[in-house]
Amino acid sequence: MAEKEKSVWLELWSLFFSKTWPMWIGGILLAGLNVCLFLVKSPWGGSGTYISWGENLYQTLGIMHIPALKNIITHPYGLLGLLTLLGAFSGALLGKEFALRIPPFGEIGKGFIGGILMALGSTMGIGCTIGGFLSGWASLSGGAIVLALGLLIGSYFALRYLLWEMEALPKLSSGKSVTWLAAKGKVGIWQPILGVIVILFLLIFFGQHYKDNNVLAMFALIGLVMGLILQRSRFCIVRAFREPFMTGESEAPIGIMAALIVGLFGFAIIKYMGIGTATPGAARNLALTWIYPHFWLRALIGGLIFGVGMTIAGGCAVGALWRTGEGQVKLWFAVLGFMLMAPVSKKFIVPGFAALLPDWAKQKIFLPDYVGYWGAVLIFIILILLWYGFVKWNERTGKFSAI
């Protein structure tokens, strides 16, 4: 009987941690948690994490002074990103997938440069792949559509560069790779054990620390679960934009489409019903949540720069976090570049850049103001279906695939 019970528990463990989850499952779960974040306070964003981390670092070093700066564990997005990273670390341990993977120096350099470009793109365009694209589409933002176009163009040209680099400059990223601490056989049992310990510690510590602050408690818990899901499903927006032009595979785009559809309906219902509001003014403020003044040129420029950066780095704002959590050193440097540049760009580059743009190039566009809520939802559904049709057609024909 005991042996039978043991096999049942091992079977349950194996179901979650012995293999990678389908990305579309990850997309649905993450979109559901994004809706929860919106209900708690505000939607999922990635670049806010790096701005918070970078500002705290510069203030600690005495390089910048930011009035009323919140430390990382009292800043909702600084905290969300930290727990996402730790959740991904836990997920990698539970699946015995954690290892320090040190690539050649050229790849480390590309990670750092990619992080810098992502910081520039996200601050200039007011949005990254998560806050600007995933949450932006769900929020029914017109600027989010243009941002996605910029991401697509940037990804395409960065991929063409990387393919050219492989042929023309093969030594740039060649060299010895080193892997440490990989789980091997029964000796690797330390990883799942440590993973359980880490999760229990985080739940107890942050549960106690935020017992009087429900918002931060929820951001911490949701961030932890998001990190686990991201790592187990290998959820990757970079792949969604890159793969149709590289291998032609449609798995990643479909995973992102699943997240977009769930988030779209969840956000639309919250905004349309004015959930949690008591006055018309509050309902209007809720409706305009995550609608930024970046339509159309600002979003296009920012998205293009970000798209180049994320493709070179091999991970976007949140993709870099979960890959950092599983020990990919190249992405450590992408996180470092993003963190160091984001506050600098926000304070010294973005004000001048925004001042150069005319008003028509940086408007707030909330699509329901023009076509109604369900007209706006229909527009986004049509765009998703067109994207689906393209990636499936391209998967079969290989017309736009480089490999």
Give the pLDDT score at 4: 55
Bridge partners (DSSP) listed for residue 366: 141
Higher-confidence position of 400 and 89: 89
DSSP-derived secondary structure for 142-164: HHHHHHHHHHHHHHHHHHHHHHH
pLDDT tens track for 344-366: 999 999 999 999 999 999 999 99
Quickly tell me which residue has 């927006």 as its tokens. Answer: 237
| Cα–Cα distance measured from residue 196 to residue 192, given in angstroms and rounded to the nearest whole number | 6
Bridge partners (DSSP) listed for residue 295: 363
| Cα–Cα distance measured from residue 195 to residue 190, given in angstroms and rounded to the nearest whole number | 8
Q: Are 34 and 43 in contact (CB under 8 A)?
A: yes
pLDDT tens track for 142-175: 999 999 999 999 999 999 999 999 999 999 888 9
| Cα–Cα distance measured from residue 310 to residue 48, given in angstroms and rounded to the nearest whole number | 16
Give the pLDDT score at 291: 98
pLDDT tens track for 200-232: 999 999 999 999 999 999 999 999 999 999 999
Domain ranges of the chain: 44-394
| Cα–Cα distance measured from residue 76 to residue 219, given in angstroms and rounded to the nearest whole number | 6
Q: Are 258 and 28 in contact (CB under 8 A)?
A: yes
Give the pLDDT score at 6: 60
Average pLDDT, the chain: 96
Give the pLDDT score at 1: 44
Single-letter amino acid, residue 76? P
Quickly state the pLDDT bin for 7 (edges 50, 70, 90).
Answer: confident
Give the pLDDT score at 211: 94
Q: Are 111 and 332 in contact (CB under 8 A)?
A: yes
Quickly state the pLDDT bin for 186 (edges 50, 70, 90).
Answer: confident
Give the pLDDT score at 5: 57
Give the pLDDT score at 352: 98
Q: Are 114 and 314 in contact (CB under 8 A)?
A: yes
| Cα–Cα distance measured from residue 310 to residue 334, given in angstroms and rounded to the nearest whole number | 9
b/e per residue 12-30 (b: at least 16 CB within 10 A):
eeeeebeeebebbebbbbb
Q: Are 81 and 49 in contact (CB under 8 A)?
A: yes
| Cα–Cα distance measured from residue 113 to residue 6, given in angstroms and rounded to the nearest whole number | 49
| Cα–Cα distance measured from residue 143 to residue 162, given in angstroms and rounded to the nearest whole number | 28
Query: Is residue 56 over pLDDT 60?
Result: yes
Query: Is residue 369 over pLDDT 90?
Result: yes
b/e per residue 66-100 (b: at least 16 CB within 10 A):
eeeeeebbebbbbbbbbbbbbbbbbbbbbbbbbbe
- Selection from 189, 178, 203, 180 nearest residue 17 by Cα: 189
Query: Is residue 399 over pLDDT 80?
Result: yes
Single-letter amino acid, residue 339? M
pLDDT tens track for 91-144: 999 999 999 999 999 999 999 999 999 999 999 999 999 999 999 999 999 999
pLDDT tens track for 273-326: 999 999 999 999 999 999 999 999 999 999 999 999 999 999 999 999 999 999
Give the pLDDT score at 163: 93
Q: Supply the Cα-derived Rg of the chain in whole angstroms.
A: 21
